[in-house]
Structure 1
Amino acid sequence: MENLIEINIENRDGSISVVNLPTDINLNLMELLKASGYDILATCGGMALCATCHIEILQGKDQLPEPSEQELDMLDTLPDANDNSRLACQLRLSNWNEKLAIKIKGILS
């Protein structure tokens, strides 16, 4: 399928899952992860106001758009954020994100 990419997800327990996600539907990464059964709280519903969908980019950071000021401000409130931290609610995937690797760090629901 042309609009399906494979990403690697490191779970909170250290296990790694390989998931195929569509790039041609109007969902952000947080919504795709929740739809795939991942336990992400997403309190604010994707408005970059709570950081409960915090992820760390392990591979493929250069293929993602730069974070907005609002996203950076929210990440600054997290004690475990680093230069590879992003909010999954602020990321829309494209075919360029094939083999993206992330680690889920947000709060459990």
Structure 2
Amino acid sequence: MAKITYIEHNGTVHEIDVKPGMTVMEGARDNGVPGIDADCGGACACSTCHVYVAPEWVDRLPTRDPMEEDMLDFAWQPDPVRSRLTCQIKVTPELDGLVVNLPERQI
């Protein structure tokens, strides 16, 4: 298991143990973390699972592929360095301790 910390925009913290092989999005969805909608079910066809990774994790994650880069253009207030789609981050034991911040919800 890898412990992933999801921090809501209001500061609420969710520490979740996520099985390797799942995505960071699936870990949030399966554990009721609000703010990660995953409308496309993880197909990288929307940006509703957008988060900001903690700065110390930016260089430790696999790089964004072109499809993820394109979808981030539709995310709410994307950051050119820290924004990621959680459906595109596969959990591995090396991700134990990953911290992601959820953006403010815009309705």
TM range (shorter): 0.7 to 0.9
Residues 77-96 of structure 1 deviation map (CA, whole Å, 9 limit, x = unaligned):
33510010000111101011
* Secondary structure of 2:18's aligned partner: strand
Compared CA separation, residues 106 and 50, structure 1 to 2 (3 A): farther
Q: Which residue, out of 90, 93, 103, partners 1:105?
A: 103
* Secondary structure of 1:55's aligned partner: strand
Q: Show the 5 A alignment for 1:50-89.
A: 50-58=46-54, 59-82=56-79, 83-89=81-87
Residues 58-86 of structure 1 deviation map (CA, whole Å, 9 limit, x = unaligned):
14222211011010011123351001000
TM-score, structure 1 normalization: 0.82
Bigger fraction of residues in strand: 1
Counterpart in 1 of 2:27?
32
Unaligned runs of 5+ in 2: none
Q: Which amino acid aligns with 2:33?
A: Y
Identity, % of aligned pairs?
Answer: 27
Q: Which amino acid aligns with 1:105?
A: P
Moved more, 66-75 or 39-48: 39-48
- Once the two structures are TM-superposed, the CA of residue 57 in structure 1 deviates from its matched residue by 0.2
Q: Which residue, out of 8, 11, 24, partners 1:11?
A: 8
Size of the aligned set, in residue pairs, is: 103
- Once the two structures are TM-superposed, the CA of residue 106 in structure 1 deviates from its matched residue by 7.6
Compared CA separation, residues 17 and 38, structure 1 to 2 (3 A): closer
TM-score, structure 2 normalization: 0.84
Unaligned runs of 5+ in 1: none
- Once the two structures are TM-superposed, the CA of residue 102 in structure 1 deviates from its matched residue by 0.3
